[in-house]
Amino acid sequence: VIEKIVDEENKLSHIKHVIATTSGKGGVGKSTVSVNTALALAKFGYKVGLLDADIYGPNIPTMMGIEGTPITIDLKYKDKILPIEKYGIKILSIGNLVPKDAAVIWRGALIHQAIKQFLDDVIWGDLDFLVVDLPPGTGDAQLSLAQLTKVSGGIIVITPQNVAMSDAMRAYDFFKRLNIPTIGVIENMSYFICPHCGARTDIFDHGGAKKFANETGLDFLGEIPIDVEVREGGDKGKPIVISNPTSPVAKAFEDVARSI
Ligand code: ADP
């Protein structure tokens, strides 16, 4: 087993593309997009890792239905961490490494150290994509990730209303300053179709992401409606791309993955 692990470890540097998702603020569905996009990429046959670097709200373990502490392997030179595998992707979350519900005070140096460990000491093996769920905003995690590795592209998740757009603009500016090419922008919670009467309501307005894309020249990667199944999937640890793969929302996430 150790031999196999060491063998895997040798392939560590074979992460072809690091893809970062961010948002201007919390609660817009950034983790939901990260999880479902990563799963859609795996569905297309890519080898995918998902790194939850959202130090302020690491909820990917809940969304993917994984619990517990990843296995640490004591190799000759230093300890290595094995990511947890579920639904065909490799996952590691800061939430797996700190006690659940612990309020962690992350200072810049600590964040840098954690991200370095995620990149250097995790046996990711051979990956086509490592999707990194960054914290919202313009903080140390973004900065450290950009310093520590080459990020192939960033995705910005926004909700349609105008206030979300100014937050997104800051996130986009930050990506630019860090030399992270932005792949595009996704509008989450874009509209709501009533499951009872079929009427559509634009709860948080509609079209903000498209407007943002037009203003910035970025690609518009699609719109995801507010959907009970999306929320349920997140709560139950079975994301919609897995729980209802033929649904329009799952297909919309596939479109996002295709644009990467
Ligand atoms: P963030 O990572 O931006 O903080 P999350 O992905 O954790 O946001 O989403 C916040 C909450 O909103 C979660 O409970 C999630 O299940 C829910 N949610 C996100 N997107 C949708 C959607 N399109 N429809 C319904 N619920 C959603």
- Per-residue pLDDT tens digits for 136-168: 988 899 999 999 999 999 999 999 987 778 888
Q: Given CA atoms 158, 234, 84, 78 in this order, what sign does their dihedral have?
A: positive
Q: What average pLDDT does the segment 69-74 reach?
A: 71
25 is in an annotated binding site: yes
Distance 249 CA to ligand 1 centre (A): 13
How many C-beta neighbours within 10 Å does residue 25 have? 17
CB 37 within 8 A of CB 253: yes
- Tell me: pLDDT of 13 over 60: no
Atom number of ligand 1 nearest to Cα 59? 7
- Tell me: pLDDT of 75 over 70: no
Assess whether the C-beta atom of 233 lies below 6 angstroms from ligand 1. no
**What residues does each domain of the chain span?**
2-258
Least confident of 118-122, 133-137, 163-167, 197-201: 163-167
Q: Given CA atoms 140, 142, 143, 149 in this order, what sign does their dihedral have?
A: positive
26 is in an annotated binding site: yes
150 is in an annotated binding site: no
Question: 155 φ, ψ to 5°?
Answer: -120, 135
Q: Which residue has the higher pLDDT, 167 or 127?
A: 127
Q: What average pLDDT does the segment 200-210 reach?
A: 94
- Tell me: pLDDT of 3 over 90: no
Taking the C-alpha atoms of residue 232 and residue 227, their distance in angstroms, rounded to an integer, is 9
31 is in an annotated binding site: yes
- pTM, to two decimals: 0.93
Amino acid at site 233: G
Nearest to 155 by CA among 13, 16, 18: 18
What DSSP element (H or E) covers 4? helix 2-10
- Tell me: pLDDT of 260 over 70: yes
How many C-beta neighbours within 10 Å does residue 24 have? 24
Distance 181 CA to ligand 1 centre (A): 25
User: 243 is written with which tokens?
Assistant: 């729980």
189, with CB counted inside 10 A (0-12, 13-18, 19+), is buried
- Pick the residue whose CA is nearest to atom 26 on ligand 1: 231
- Tell me: pLDDT of 8 over 60: no
Taking the C-alpha atoms of residue 97 and residue 122, their distance in angstroms, rounded to an integer, is 12
Atom number of ligand 1 nearest to Cα 63? 16
Alpha carbon distance, N-terminus to C-terminus of the chain: 34
Give me the CATH code for the 2-258 domain, please: 3.40.50.300
24 is in an annotated binding site: yes
- Tell me: pLDDT of 52 over 60: yes
- Pick the residue whose CA is nearest to atom 20 on ligand 1: 29
Atom number of ligand 1 nearest to Cα 34? 6
How many C-beta neighbours within 10 Å does residue 105 have? 7
How is 35-80 classified by DSSP, letter by letter? Answer: HHHHHHHHHTT--EEEEE--TT---HHHHHT--SPPPEEE-SSSEE
Taking the C-alpha atoms of residue 245 and residue 252, their distance in angstroms, rounded to an integer, is 10
User: 110 is written with which tokens?
Assistant: 């600590």
What DSSP element (H or E) covers 22? strand 15-23
Using one digit for the tens of pLDDT, what is the confidence trace for 208-229? 999 999 999 999 999 999 999 9
